[in-house]
Each structure stands twice: as C-alpha cells, then as structure tokens.
Structure 1
Amino acid sequence: METDDLKSMSVERLWSLHEQLVAELERKIAAEKATLEQRLRALGLERISRKPERARRPYPKVFPKYRNPKNAEETWAGRGKQPRWLAAQLRSGKKLDDFLIQRKPVQKRRRAG
C-alpha cells in the first residue's frame, strides 16, 4: 500500500484499517506465543521462562519515633512521606524534636558467670 493511498483515505477508513491491523496482530502474536510455549514444554524448559518467585527478606519491625500530641494513635516512624498532622505542625513553627517519643533506656542483662 502506497503512502499516497493512506493520505487520501478518510479518517473513518483509516480507523477501520487500524482496527483490522490490531486484530490481526493480536491473533498472530497469540499463535506465535502458543507455538513458543509448546516448544519450551517439549524441551522441558517451561519453568525457566517464568520469573523465579523470591521470598522477600525479613525486615525488622520499625517502631514509631514521633507521636501526635493531640491524637496519641497517630505515629510516624520517620520513613516515607511525613503525615499531614506532622507537616501542619511543622508549618506552624514547631520542631520535629517536639514530637519525639521518649523511650525508656534498654537495660542490658548481666550474664551470670
């Protein structure tokens, strides 16, 4: 098909041609994929074609570092985007240290011996 033929076609005819092309390409791609999968099964390489599923490594629990004084249930660990309550307080002139959660010092156990 010549480029001049495409230029002279109406928008409706071009769109119809586009839809025909997409349908035909989808059919051919599906057939090719089925053929390739059949060949992989014949070779016994079916598992290689898929991404291996890896278990996520365990991350330690992140405890909250900051607490909303107006609502004690709202906390933030200091990771990710700042919560709205904290951003509003910081805009009003307070400092981040004003919201720190006071932790009790961890006592180390003495080993007997």
Structure 2
Amino acid sequence: MTIDLTSLSVRELNQLIRTAEQTRKALVSRPPAEKVKKQLTALARKAGYTIEEVFGEGTDGGAAPRTRRRKLPKVAIKYRDPENRRYTWTGRGKMPRWLASKVRFGQDPVDFLVPGVAKLTPKAAPANPKRKLFKQG
C-alpha cells in the first residue's frame, strides 16, 4: 500500500500519524481471532451448546449464512432472427440489440416470432385507467 505523502500539509501528516498510532494500539491490544474463537467454542460447550446452535448453521467465523436461490425453469425461445439463427430471445428482460436495431429500422417484432411456438403476448391493462369526469348540474 502506497500513500502519496508529498501532497499533504504538516497538519494533515500529523493527523495521519496520530490516527495510525491509535489504530495500531487498538490492533495490538486485542487478542488474536483464533484465541477468541477457542474461548467462544469452550464457553458454548460448557453451556451445552455447539457453535452452530449459537450462531446458526453454516457459520464460518461469523460470516452470514448463504441463502440458496430458487432455480428458475428454462423458457422457450419466442423470437429468432431469420438471417442469423443464433440470435434468439425468450421475450423476457431487455430487448436484445439485434432485435432493437431491426425495430429501429422499421421492422415489427411480430415478424421475428418463432412460428408454431410463440404467440404475441397481449399488453397488460393499466393499473389505474384514466377516469372520465362529468360535470353535474
């Protein structure tokens, strides 16, 4: 780790030295992590627990346990480029570049639907349709 000390003023250098000395004292005065880990394990064992029961399953030194993500099903291809069959899209997520460029030049996404497999998804109705107000009177 290198710090450019030439750009610091005398006041900033003194402050940096004080902060470094305080941090060093704090680090030197505390016991090593392995020693604390052994003490915690012994204390838990004395009380009749295991470390896993106290801190939860899958703990490795206090790290939070990982949650597993739900496995998503495969989705059928909905759009395919007739010029390059490798370019496909399931219709989910952001529109791919190849299809966006074709749409920008005037083609319709319906032209790229895979025949027999894909159907055009109808647009969802708006959540709050605009209401018409009529004056009474």
Q: Which runs of 5+ in 1 are unaligned?
A: 1-8, 106-113
Kindly indicate whether structure 1 or structure 2 has the higher relative contact order, using CA contacts under 8 Å at least 6 residues apart.
1
Give the alignment's Cα RMSD to 1 decimal.
3.4
Aligned runs of 1:26-105 on 2, under 5 Å?
Answer: 27=27, 31=31, 34=34, 37-42=37-42, 43=44, 44-46=50-52, 48=56, 49-103=62-116
| TM-score normalised over the length of structure 2 | 0.51
Cα-to-partner distance string for 1:59-93 (whole Å, 9 max, x where unaligned): 22112211122211011112222211111112112
Of stretches 43-52 and 72-81 in structure 1, the one that deviates more from structure 2 is: 43-52
Distance in 2 of aligned mates of 1:50 and 1:72: 46
Inter-partner Cα distance in structure 1 for 2:76 and 2:31: 53
**1:23/1:95 Cα in 2 relative to 1: closer, same or farther (>3 Å)?**
farther
Structure 2 unaligned segments of length 5 or more: list them: 1-9, 45-49, 57-61, 119-137
Alpha-carbon spacing, 1:66–1:104, altered in 2? closer, same or farther (3 Å): closer
Report how many residues are paired.
97
Change in CA separation of 1:52 and 1:11 when aligned onto 2, cut-off 3 Å: closer
How far, CA to CA, are the matches of 1:104 and 1:63 in structure 2? 8
Shift in alpha-carbon separation, 1:94–1:104, aligned structure 2, 3 A: closer
Mapped partners of 1:59, 1:34: distance in 2:
40
What's the CA shift for 1:14? 1.7
Query: Cα 1:14–1:67, aligned 2, differ >3 Å: closer, same or farther?
Result: same
Q: Which is helix-richer, 1 or 2? A: 1
